[in-house]
Structure 1
Amino acid sequence: MPTQLDHYRLLGRSGLRVSPLCLGTMTFGVGPGAWGSTDEEAARMLDIYVERGGNFVDTADFYGQMGGSERLLGQIVGDRRERLVISTKYSITTSPGDPNAAGNSRRNMVRSVEASLKRMKTDWIDLLYLHMWDFRTPVDEILRAFDDLVSAGKVLYTGLSDTPAWQASRMQAIAEVRGWTQFCALQIQHNLIERTVERELIPMAREMGFGVCPWSPLGGGVLTGKYTSADLSASAGEMMSSRKAINVATGRLTEQNLAIAQVTADVAKEIGCTPAQVALAWLLAHPDVDSPVLGARTPAQLEDNLGALEVTLSDDHLARLDAASAVPKVFPMDMLSGAAETIMTGGVTVEKRA
């Protein structure tokens, strides 16, 4: 397990070196009065992260007001651009009402990349993600557009976010067969209260060469221990106006998830750290996770999150956290990992080596 930000990891099946914790910037450039960071807080968080050796910064054209996150990054990165691996995303609308300013099409991809380059005042994007699957654009159009941008030098590496496992694996296979740029990263929600991705998405990523970069590693703050049963409801007027209301609306804030958060807090108390650090340390210990994306709002929250690099969870702690957060198995994996394996091998041990 890494112990500091400059203990870099290779991202998926690529030669790109990234820090074991990624600085997320969804809170950057949101604007006054919102749940985001002030510009001064954002600049300080970037300074803290880079000073400790961090090099992986994640944003999106959709973050902030009218591309505010990318625009602010362009202002505060300064002469550190060469040392940073900056990822951004396209897909979500940035111009409501315009059907071609959204989705996974070549047109929207190229338009978004050109706009992102201008906002961030850079000549290239290190890692471009498809932000969200649209169920409409042909995969060969997406793959060829990615490959063209890589050939043009505007994008160096490519990734997928929030995409079904069967589409991601299909696209990776097509890219390999046709000699087009293959994906090296998969950004998905993965944390102690969202482990259903371990059924298909994470095994797919392992097999197909995607490095996993979990977003919302603290479950929208639920795993920090700041919520109680009293927070399980939100008024109609409050809905989507606060982080708590969003967590209620999206199903993150439930009795079951509060129980998982309590186990996380219990382990943190035993170790002498914060619940957030335990939740992040659990992800860092996962063999298929490359770099969780931090979503801190303040420098103090970021400092606390980075402390997870110094936390070591014992086998007993990991077992307790796994048991508390376990999700039901699904077909066919429940069958294939059980008695069927003995039937197929005839009782002979057959070891699969990495």
Structure 2
Amino acid sequence: MTLTLDTYRQLGRSGLRVSPLALGAATFGNDWGWGAEQDEARKLFDLYVERGGNFIDTAVTYTNGTSERMLGEFTRDRRDSLVLATKYTTLRRPDDPNSGGAGRKNLFRSVETSLRRLNTDYIDVLYLHVWDSTTPVEEILRGLDDLVRQGKILYVAISNTPAWQISRMQMMADLRGWAPLTALQLEYNLVERTGERDLLPMAQELGLGTVLWSPLAGGILTGKYSRQDITAPASHQAESTRRSFNQALGGVTGRSLAIADAVKEVAAELGRTPAQVALAWTLHNPEVTAPIIGARTVEQLRENLGALEVDLTASQKARLDEVSAIDPGFPHAMLASDHIRVLTRGNLKIQARR
């Protein structure tokens, strides 16, 4: 099944229509040592939009604010045709305790900062970026609802939060008539599939669109790492920041490299690149709304967009599923066992709910 950027998808149960690949703007700006300068970032933006893309992802602290400022300039003449998503909670000023977290003060100031930088009077999707265990959920939800009622944000979303907290928040929003959560952003790829235990099923049940960060596992699935990188010391050179980041976090392992090898094999069979195959695996998952693709060069973005044209055969998908499979853990493994099936259903034939 060939997709295009203008084959739009609904974001959860909302009426918002978004492209099947979102453009990640965390690479807009070189403040962190490895992003795209303004001219290159503009080319990335133009290529994505010219292909029909409309879903762009940033955050109030990405590249120290440069990302939002660039987008404010790039979107000036086509703002209403784009879906801009940004995030709050990460610390904006290291010496100010109230410039981070999910509290009302930071929420309102972060949104005003983003609106000013983005050169707009509304944000399409605002994510709570990272869960803050110190702020009451009532304060978070009421603040977000106030901003929706003011028209400063249109849709509320959440990222990097435990499933039980998200479920609790959605129920509270429903009961109190506050703006509901519309989307969930999570890390999900062939290396990191633990979202299948709770987060993805929860999103399906609660009607949340699912937006994926790091669908290429920080570049591991592109095939650029080897067994030597498992034990090699992390480099501190600016051009190696991403590699150092993956090594420092322990992302380069025997398991992740075995998965990357399987991706390379499938890519060779299809005449595609490993990045395109890894992205295609997420794109054709019915539980996924849109992976976020980030790029530093036009060539990288063109390669990633090529994933829209990749069709995996059933056997190729099964191979990728098998090499990357995770232990579902308790209680999921127990509930899926034949023993429990016999205890709860016997030999009855019961059609699962769709």
Tell me, yes or no, whether TM beats 0.5. Answer: yes
- Determine the structure 1 residue equivalent to 2:327: 328
- Determine the structure 2 residue equivalent to 1:21: 21
Q: Does 1:235 align with 2:221?
A: no
Q: Is the 8 A contact 1:30 1:69 kept in 2?
A: no
Q: What residue identity is the alignment partner of 2:210? A: V
- Determine the structure 1 residue equivalent to 2:279: 280
1:104-119 equivalence runs, <5 A: 104-119=102-117
Gap change, CA 1:104 and 1:282, over 3 Å in 2:
same
- Determine the structure 1 residue equivalent to 2:59: 60
Q: Is the 8 A contact 1:30 1:63 kept in 2?
A: no
- Determine the structure 1 residue equivalent to 2:351: 351
1:64-83 equivalence runs, <5 A: 64-65=63-64, 67-83=65-81
Unmatched runs of 5 consecutive residues or more in structure 1: none
Q: Provide the secondary structure at the position in 1 that maps to 2:23.
A: strand
- Residue 2 of structure 1 deviates from its aligned partner by 5.3
Gap change, CA 1:237 and 1:223, over 3 Å in 2:
closer
Q: Is the 8 A contact 2:34 2:241 kept in 1?
A: yes
Q: Provide the secondary structure at the position in 2 that maps to 1:94.
A: coil
- Residue 237 of structure 1 deviates from its aligned partner by 6.2
Runs ≥4 residues deviating over 4 A: none
Q: What residue identity is the alignment partner of 1:96? A: P
Gap change, CA 1:133 and 1:53, over 3 Å in 2:
same
1:88-167 equivalence runs, <5 A: 88-167=86-165
Task: Provide the rounded CA distance (Å) in 1 between the counterparts of 2:235 and 2:276.
Answer: 33
Task: Provide the rounded CA distance (Å) in 1 between the counterparts of 2:352 and 2:138.
Answer: 33
Q: Does 1:303 align with 2:263?
A: no
Q: Is the 8 A contact 1:2 1:20 kept in 2?
A: no
Q: Is the 8 A contact 1:265 1:275 kept in 2?
A: yes
Task: Provide the rounded CA distance (Å) in 2 between the counterparts of 1:78 and 1:175.
Answer: 34
Task: Provide the rounded CA distance (Å) in 1 between the counterparts of 2:241 and 2:161.
Answer: 27
Q: What residue identity is the alignment partner of 1:28? A: F
- Residue 347 of structure 1 deviates from its aligned partner by 2.0
Q: What residue identity is the alignment partner of 1:352? A: A
Equivalenced residue count is 352
- Determine the structure 1 residue equivalent to 2:33: 34
Q: Is the 8 A contact 1:88 1:128 kept in 2?
A: yes
Task: Provide the rounded CA distance (Å) in 2 between the counterparts of 1:183 and 1:167.
Answer: 12
Task: Provide the rounded CA distance (Å) in 2 between the counterparts of 1:162 and 1:239.
Answer: 29
Q: Provide the secondary structure at the position in 2 that maps to 1:79.
A: coil
Q: Is the 8 A contact 2:104 2:139 kept in 1?
A: yes
**How does the TM-score come out when normalised to structure 1?**
0.97
**How does the TM-score come out when normalised to structure 2?**
0.97
- Residue 234 of structure 1 deviates from its aligned partner by 4.8
Unmatched runs of 5 consecutive residues or more in structure 2: none
Q: Does 1:202 align with 2:200?
A: yes
Q: What residue identity is the alignment partner of 2:8? A: Y
Task: Provide the rounded CA distance (Å) in 1 between the counterparts of 2:78 and 2:40.
Answer: 18
Moved more, 69-78 or 317-326: 69-78
State the superposition RMSD in angstroms: 1.4
Q: Provide the secondary structure at the position in 2 that maps to 1:329.
A: coil
